Amino acid sequence: MDVPLWFALLCVGVLGVKLIRPPWWLIGVLLLGGFLLADSVLAPVIDTALK
């Protein structure tokens, strides 16, 4: 069964919010920070570190 990555991340995110119940501002900071890091000069370094 092939599941798209975006769908798997969405499911994990929804379960994490329901189970752990972090504050909404923390979720926003993590999403915005990830978005900004993905488009920064550090993106190749992070990509290499994760592989």
Q: Which pLDDT tens digit goes with each residue over 5-49?
A: 899 999 999 999 999 999 999 999 999 998 888 888 888 888 888
Q: How far apart are CA 48 and CA 39, in angstroms?
A: 15
Asked if 16 contacts 8 with a C-beta cutoff of 8 angstroms, the reply is no
Beta strands in the chain (DSSP E): none
Is this prediction's pTM over 0.85?
A: no
Look at residue 15 in the predicted model and tell me its pLDDT.
Answer: 96
